[in-house]
């Protein structure tokens, strides 16, 4: 008897795999057919970055310029016009990379949440109930929605990432190395998986688009401040900074900043140490100040969190929300299925 059950489950696996493929493809088709939503998902992170470039960049670069001039005056260093402009280009590139990492960290969350409208709409229109009434395993239905969310969120973030890299290259600040390119890509994937699990958990409680829309608006407006994406730690109240460390997005943003800012910081430090026979070496303290001011290192109540621990924290959040999604998702789908059966029995 037990052997027959095992054989039935094994023979059912190919059918479930095909169902998973068709469901995921169906979700992707529905999403990409809605052109305004696709454009909106792409434009939100680009609009945030555009606001930075047009309005905030000059402010941040101005603050860095003042610190740079102060360091020159303090150390009584006279720098040639060419070296000064070169240094300012490098410092501007640091500010750009800092903001780009924040934009990518925020967009992982906002795009994922916005993409989940497919899940909510399917629940609202009864499509999910149709899926459950079919022979498809509820786990496959949940997995298809999650996979669809990860694919869309990662694809849009990858496109934003490429556009931002193009901007950095055109600004002449520096060219990202191949190793850092793939490292950032890996962090993006990890961040997208984490965000998709969290947003799916949130949306499992939502069954109406009218409820989801204001939540998307509120999260889109607030999440950048909650994960320290928009303002350097030097400009944020210490009490707010302590709150940010409890959000998984904070660790994603910090990891991205580490890899985005590593190369420009090292090149700037090397320039100060070697240019003009070491005349600019006292300016190395400026790099240390910028590292603290721009939140290059994440501080958890006095403990400086290394990169490896940041990655482990993101993985821990992934593990926690995998369990929550399984519990909530299963209860949600099975409860609807049970209610439908009860209604049919009553009608009979």
Among the listed ranges 30-44, 72-86, 137-151, 296-310, which one has the minimum average pLDDT value?
A: 296-310
Of 63-72, 239-248, 267-276, 285-294, the range with the highest mean pLDDT is: 63-72
Closest CA to 241 of 299, 306, 172, 296: 299
Residues 281 and 20: their CA atoms lie apart, in Å, by 59
DSSP 8-state assignment for residue 278: G
Closest CA to 118 of 221, 186, 196: 196
Max CA distance (Å), the chain: 92
More confident residue, 295 or 254: 254
pLDDT at 13 over 70: no
Q: What confidence category does residue 112 fall into, taking pLDDT thresholds of 50, 70 and 90?
A: very high
pLDDT at 156 over 60: yes
Residues 70-95 as b/e (b if ≥16 CB within 10 A, e otherwise) read ebbeeeeeebeeeeeebbeebbbbbb
Q: What pLDDT sits at residue 319?
A: 95
pLDDT at 315 over 80: yes
Token pair belonging to 345? 């029995």
Q: What pLDDT sits at residue 153?
A: 96
Q: What pLDDT sits at residue 146?
A: 93
Q: What confidence category does residue 337 fall into, taking pLDDT thresholds of 50, 70 and 90?
A: very low
303 strand-pairing partners: 300
336 with 132: CB under 8 angstroms?
yes
Q: What pLDDT sits at residue 7?
A: 43
What's the residue count for the chain? 348
Q: How far is CA 299 from CA 84, 244, 310, in A?
A: 32, 10, 11
Q: What pLDDT sits at residue 334?
A: 52
Mean pLDDT (the chain, rounded): 83
Residues 329 and 194: their CA atoms lie apart, in Å, by 16
pLDDT at 5 over 60: no
Of 90-104, 266-280, 325-339, the range with the highest mean pLDDT is: 90-104
Instruction: Spell out the alpha helix ranges (H) of 75-177.
Output: 81-115, 117-125, 127-133, 138-171
Q: Determine how many CB atoms are found less than 10 A away from the CB of residue 158.
A: 15
Q: What pLDDT sits at residue 196?
A: 95
138 with 330: CB under 8 angstroms?
yes
Residues 344 and 348: their CA atoms lie apart, in Å, by 6
Q: What confidence category does residue 9 fall into, taking pLDDT thresholds of 50, 70 and 90?
A: very low
Residues 176-207 have pLDDT tens digits of 888 899 999 999 999 999 999 999 998 888 88
Q: What is the pTM of this model?
A: 0.88
Q: For a pLDDT cut of 90, what percent of the chain falls above it?
A: 29
Q: What confidence category does residue 22 fall into, taking pLDDT thresholds of 50, 70 and 90?
A: very high
Among the listed ranges 172-186, 270-284, 309-323, which one has the minimum average pLDDT value?
A: 270-284
Residues 48 and 162: their CA atoms lie apart, in Å, by 16
Please list, in sequence order, all residues whose beta carbon lies within 8 angstroms of the beta carbon of residue 130, skipping any fewer than 6 positions away. none
Secondary element (H or E) of residue 317? helix 307-347
Residues 137 and 149: their CA atoms lie apart, in Å, by 19
280 with 208: CB under 8 angstroms?
no
- If you average pLDDT over residues 147-158, what whole number do you get? 96
Instruction: Spell out the alpha helix ranges (H) of 204-306.
Output: 209-226, 238-244, 248-274, 284-293
Closest CA to 128 of 147, 149, 144, 114: 144
Residues 126 and 242: their CA atoms lie apart, in Å, by 43
- If you average pLDDT over residues 94-102, what whole number do you get? 89
More confident residue, 343 or 260: 260
- If you average pLDDT over residues 144-170, what whole number do you get? 94
- If you average pLDDT over residues 112-122, what whole number do you get? 91
């Amino acid at each position: 008897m037990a052997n027959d059950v095992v054989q039935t489950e094994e023979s059912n696996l190919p059918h479930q795999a095909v169902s998973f493929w068709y469901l995921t493809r169906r979700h992707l088709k529905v999403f990409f057919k809605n052109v305004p939503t696709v454009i909106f998902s792409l434009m939100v992170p680009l609009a945030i970055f555009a606001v930075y470039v047009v309005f905030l960049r000059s402010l941040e670069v101005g603050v860095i310029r003042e610190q740079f001039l102060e360091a020159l005056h303090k150390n009584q260093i006279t720098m040639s016009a060419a070296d000064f402009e070169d240094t300012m280009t490098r410092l501007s590139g640091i500010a750009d990379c800092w903001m780009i990492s924040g934009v990518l960290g925020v967009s992982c969350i906002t795009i994922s949440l916005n993409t989940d409208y497919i899940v909510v709409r399917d629940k609202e229109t009864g499509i999910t109930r149709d899926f459950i009434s079919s022979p498809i395993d509820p786990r496959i239905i949940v997995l298809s929605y999650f996979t669809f969310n990860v694919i869309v969120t990662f694809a849009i973030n990858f496109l934003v990432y490429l556009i931002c890299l193009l901007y950095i290259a055109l600004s002449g600040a520096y060219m990202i190395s191949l190793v850092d390119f793939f490292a950032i890509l890996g962090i993006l994937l990890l961040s997208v998986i984490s965000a998709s699990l969290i947003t799916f958990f949130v949306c499992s409680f939502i069954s109406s688009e009218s409820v989801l829309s204001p939540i998307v608006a509120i999260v889109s407006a607030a999440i950048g401040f909650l994960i320290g994406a928009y303002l350097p730690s030097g400009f944020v109240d210490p009490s707010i900074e302590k709150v940010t460390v409890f959000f998984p997005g904070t660790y994603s943003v910090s990891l991205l900043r580490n890899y985005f800012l590593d190369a420009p910081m090292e090149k700037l430090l090397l320039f100060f140490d070697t240019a003009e026979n070491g005349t600019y070496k006292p300016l190395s303290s400026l790099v240390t100040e910028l590292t603290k001011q721009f939140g290059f290192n994440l501080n958890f109540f006095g403990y400086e969190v290394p990169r490896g621990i940041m990655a482990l924290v993101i993985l821990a959040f992934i593990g926690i929300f995998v369990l929550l999604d399984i519990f909530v998702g299963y209860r949600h789908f099975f409860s609807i299925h049970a209610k439908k059966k009860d209604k049919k029995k009553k009608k009979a």
